[in-house]
Structure 1
Amino acid sequence: MLKEKQGSFGKGFLVKIRIILWLAKQLQVFFSVNAFLFLKEKGLMITIILAGGKGSRIGTEKALIELESRKLIDLVVHSVHGSKTEDFFVAITKNTPKTAVYCQHANYKTLETLGDGYHEDLGCLLSRYPEFVSVACDIPFLRSAHIDALIDAYSRYHTSITGAVPLAIVPKGISMGHTFEHEGKELVACGINVVTSSDESQPLVFNDPLLAINVNTASDLRFALQKDCVF
């Protein structure tokens, strides 16, 4: 926010600057919405990498944690690049200033949300993109095929898709996401979804135990480092 000062710039100048900034924001929203409509018309979908969390359990910005000299955000971007997704953005917040700087240097396009919580931020993103693939930034063993499967499932069901792993195959000792039951099986949400405004969600089950690993704690990081299948 610009503050009014006495000096070389008068109030009229500051008003013009505010108008220009407001118009720039409206144009950004306009082009974002129209880009989404173009992608929808072509049957395509974007991916948004969620990288705005506080990382309170591990004490740092998770996107910048390194596995075998590669940052988690870069591992996820690598998988997104190889998938069917047409384009991607990294969602950042006030909680992740270093991630924002890194994305700028890496030429990753970013979207900023308020950082008031997971569901609040998704609501903010939905107001701009009515459907998209969401991927947590802390999934080191995400593969392009996982994202493609989500997009294919959305094409079949035309509703929100929740990526999940059977609880029975989740590696012991890692921190787990939300657990729920579907068709008599206990499942663990793994941080990859197709997000829509629908109240319904269709689980998509992946029989891949490594996909259940989200780096939320130091223990999760140690477990991930033991694996030899990081890119």
Structure 2
Amino acid sequence: MIIILAGGKSTRMGKEKPVLKIAGKEMLLWVYASASRVDETIVALSKNTPKTRELCLREGIPFMETPGKGYVEDVQWLLNEFGPFISSSSDIPFVKPSDFYAVKKAFNGKTSLTGVLPIQKVPKDLKPLVYRGYAIVGLNAVGFEGEGFFELENPLLALNVNTPEDLKLAERIARLVRKVIFGWEDLTTGR
């Protein structure tokens, strides 16, 4: 099972991030399109994200509500409710089905995996959270025992859209890579 985490307060952005549009498409829909090609996928909401709830209802996307107490508390609650799962944040719009497949293949259902990129793979304009020479990305596996890193290959996973500047960068990238990576038409030109 894949759970897309979309219940945060979005304090740095100042708006509900999952419903913000990148190249005409809500960010949550970018992530859901990739995840749902790999496994059963639901969206974890909270009282902090009423517009995201409306989007899920409108698009027919399965969702459930967490207590909304904080990231760690909500992930623990989800683990207790659903057992081990793959988690994705709703603000990594360039996650691909192959990224989900890679984590799914590596996950043994017990040991949690934190998705990372070697810092050398991070595009120079991005400023991700770095720990021990790795960029931490929003794609993980959540289990009951221990924790390890899992190296991913997609350099665009380093773009976690947290600020208006990140959103502008994602918009520029989306127009360049959407058709190449995802095969989606450019909504502005119809090509």
Normalised by the size of structure 2, how large is the TM-score?
0.87
User: Are the aligned partners of 2:110 and 2:144 in contact in 1 as well (CA < 8 Å)?
Assistant: no
Could you tell me whether the CA contact under 8 Å between 1:175 and 1:217 is conserved in 2? no
Aligned-residue offset at 1:202: 2.2
Match of 2:131 in 1: 180
Q: CA RMSD in A?
A: 1.4
Matched, 1:229 2:177: yes
Residue number in structure 1 paired with 2:113: 161
| SS at structure 1 position matched to 2:61 | coil
Distance 1:90 1:175 in 2: 26
Q: In structure 2, what is the Cα distance between the partners aligned to 1:101 and 1:207?
A: 33
Q: Could you tell me which residue of structure 1 aligns to residue 122 of structure 2?
A: 170
Q: 1:135 aligns with which of 63, 66, 88?
A: 88
Map of 1:118 onto structure 2? 71
CA distance in structure 2 between the aligned counterparts of 1:207 and 1:77, rounded to whole angstroms: 20
Choose the corresponding residue for 1:220, options 148, 157, 166: 166
CA distance in 2, matches of 1:226, 1:65: 15
In 1, the alpha carbon distance for the partners of 2:67 and 2:169 equals 32
Structure 2, unpaired ranges of 5+: 183-191
Letter paired with 1:190 = V
**3-state SS of 1:135 partner:** strand
Q: Residues of 2 paired with 1:211 and 1:63: CA distance?
A: 16
Render the CA deviation track for 1:48-101: whole Å, top value 9, x for unaligned. Answer: 000001111111111001111111111111101222x2x111000011011111
The one-letter amino acid paired with 2:141 is V
Whole-angstrom distance in 2 between the partners of 1:158 and 1:113? 22
Shift of 1:172: 3.3
Q: Secondary structure at the match of 1:127?
A: helix
The CA deviation string for residues 152-186 of structure 1, in whole angstroms up to 9 with x for no partner, is 0014x841111111123323343423x322xxxx1
**In 1: Cα distance, 2:29 partner to 2:84 partner:** 24
1:96 matched to 2:49? The reply is yes
CA distance in 2, matches of 1:124, 1:207: 29
Give the AA of the match of 1:229: V
Structure 2 counterpart of 1:52, one-letter code = G
State the secondary structure of the residue aligned to 2:107. helix
Matched, 1:106 2:59: yes
2:88 counterpart SS class: strand
State TM-score, norm by structure 1. 0.73
**In structure 1, C-alpha distance between the alignment counterparts of 2:18 and 2:90, rounded to whole Å:** 6
Structure ID, larger Rg: 1
Q: Return the alpha-carbon distance in structure 2 between the equivalents of residues 95 and 172 of structure 1.
A: 33
1:62-101 matched pairs, under 5 angstroms: 62-83=17-38, 85=39, 87-101=40-54
Long gaps (5+) in structure 1 = 1-45
Q: Secondary structure at the match of 2:32?
A: helix
Quick check: 1:113–1:125 contact (8 Å CA) kept in 2?
yes
Distance 1:54 1:92 in 2: 11
Percent identical among aligned pairs is 35
Residue among 111, 130, 140 paired with 1:193: 140
Q: Contact conserved, 1:163 with 1:203, CA < 8 A, in 2?
A: yes
SS at match of 1:148: helix
